[in-house]
Amino acid sequence: MIEARRLHILRAVADHRTVTAAAAALYLTPSAVSQQLTALEQETGHRLVERGAKGVRLTPAGEILLSHTNEVLAQLERAEAELAAYSAGSAGTVTVASFATGIGLVVAPALARLARTAPGIHVRVQDAEGDASLPMVLDRLVDIAVAVEYRGAPDADDPRLTPVALYAEPFDAVVPLGHRLADATEVPLAELAKDPWIGPYPGNPCHDVVVLACENAGFQPRLEHSSDDFRAVVALASADAGVALVPRSALRGMDLTGVLVRPVDGVAPTRRVFAAVRRGAEGHPLIRPVLDALAEAATVD
């Protein structure tokens, strides 16, 4: 008989690629993870992982078991959801991880809605970059992720997750007041090819949006200054340190006295924001109202 908790460990090792990282995500010791993997191999009668200099990878037998693991764990999530519904499930705590702008745009308004419609649900919010919240969901550190599409993100049909589309927003060009394109009503990105750029660090989903937009315009941006805080990005632009692309919602309420904000000429670079839960948990009576409140908040500009 295969124990479900060992399947959680197998998936964590597959996701994190090292025993040490999987152990940290699961709040276990590396030796405990190794022991559970050994026990799982004994239960199945197959070698499931191979250790190498670059970490751990699944064997073909391990890949077969992982495909079933995703289905089994999703079904367990559904079972928990139905049991919670059976016992009413009208009160409890749901944890949401979201990037800062998403907290302001949809998470905080969703909390206000839930205070009226589902007062028994207590939501705990954690600030996490747009690419960090999905691993937190998979590692069961949080219940819901508010994330941004990015290169390497799980596909919409990933068997581990259920996504819920929230909103899409364009990036606007931010240039210093004295910039040569200051009089333009729209900014062609190709005209900024020789400018110094200010933008998020690699790994931030917004970095991918900026670089891809510039590549589509025929150049690689010369990123001279890096910050994941868009207030810092705008401040640097106001000091004539360079140009930037910033999500429109991030500019709301910001001091823009030293810069000009212009829409991008043609197809604007866009970030798409979605919520995600572990597959099977979308029907949980505590999680479903939070997902609905996030979706409702996203429809209000």
Write out pLDDT tens, residues 123-151. 999 999 877 899 999 999 999 999 988 77
**Which has more pLDDT, 130 or 4?**
4
Domain ranges of the chain: 2-82, 89-165+271-296, 167-269
Predicted TM-score (pTM) above 0.75 = no
CATH topology of domain 89-165+271-296: D-Maltodextrin-Binding Protein; domain 2 (3.40.190)
Beta strand 121-127 with 244-247 is: unpaired
User: Would you put residue 92 in left (φ > 0), alpha (ψ -120 to 50) or beta?
Assistant: left
Q: Are 278 and 137 in contact (CB under 8 A)?
A: yes
CATH topology of domain 2-82: Arc Repressor Mutant, subunit A (1.10.10)
Determine the residue type at 129: E
Q: Where are the alpha helices (DSSP H) in the chain?
A: 4-16, 19-26, 30-44, 60-86, 100-102, 108-117, 133-138, 205-216, 230-238, 287-298
Burial class for 185, CB neighbours closer than 10 Å (0-12, 13-18, 19+): exposed
84-88, 160-164, 225-229: segment of lowest average pLDDT = 84-88
Structure tokens at 123: 């939501």
Categorize the per-residue pLDDT at 199 as very low, low, confident or very high, splitting at 50, 70 and 90: very high
